[in-house]
Amino acid sequence: MSRAQFLRTVAGLALLAAVSSASATAPSTADCKGTLYLTFDTGNMRHAELIAQTLARHGAKATFFVAQEKTMRGDHSLDASWAAYWQARVAEGHAFGTHTWRHGSFRQDVGDRVQYFVDGRHEALDAQGVCDELKRSDTRFQDLTGRRLDRLWRAPGGRTTRNTLAAARQCGYEHVGWAGAGFLGDELPSETHPNAMLVERALTRLRDGDIVMAHLGIWSRKDPFAPMLDPLLGALRAKGFCFAPLRGRP
């Protein structure tokens, strides 16, 4: 057994014990010692169902940032084939924001435009072009679920520019980043950032009011982090944390 495998095993056993002890003592909202805001970007959707089941098991509400990303099924995350998934999350009371439509990267401002890298090339977007990128996911989500997105957005990779933020604000969307401690690291190489390390870091660093960020599936990570979400949430509940969607954040 490698050192990384040993650490994962030890961490898993410790966290499962924490979950068991927390099951009878999970705090009510009135007894929360702190609130965390769980957020998930679409990614490749590989663990979308597992994450939804985990959130339901812990009674945790989250915020999903949605883009039309290619999934492990060969379709895209806002295709009609995912309608039932999103409808179920709406019924559960989660919050939702736009993650752009094409999941490109806002690189830099050039005059009154924004350099947007998508599909292997650069485009120069004006304010209306930025709004169109954000609104298209909003419109599509409403077509699938009957519900508009909350007036929130997250840039892919968290990368924004002054023009991008101003344009988004003009069309009604406020940008949401994440706390440094809230970066769960599910997109980092598992060879150098094993799950045990990521879990320990989250439990040590997270504080009241932090925004936590992960994905519904990552192409590159060999040892997925998603299965660790269940013991992580249990351990956080044992520490007195509650979970809330971003629309309720002060």
pLDDT tens track for 11-24: 454 444 444 344 43
Asked if residues 115 and 138 have their Cβ atoms less than 8 Å apart, the reply is: no
- Summarised one tens digit per residue, pLDDT across range 49-91 is 999 999 999 999 999 999 999 999 999 999 999 999 999 999 9
Choose among 3, 40, 5, 12: nearest CA to 232: 12
Q: What is the rounded CA–CA span in Å between residue 65 and residue 152?
A: 8
Asked if residues 99 and 154 have their Cβ atoms less than 8 Å apart, the reply is: yes
- Position 239 scores a pLDDT of 95
Q: How many CA atoms lie within 13 A of 164 on its CB side?
A: 23
pTM over 0.85: yes
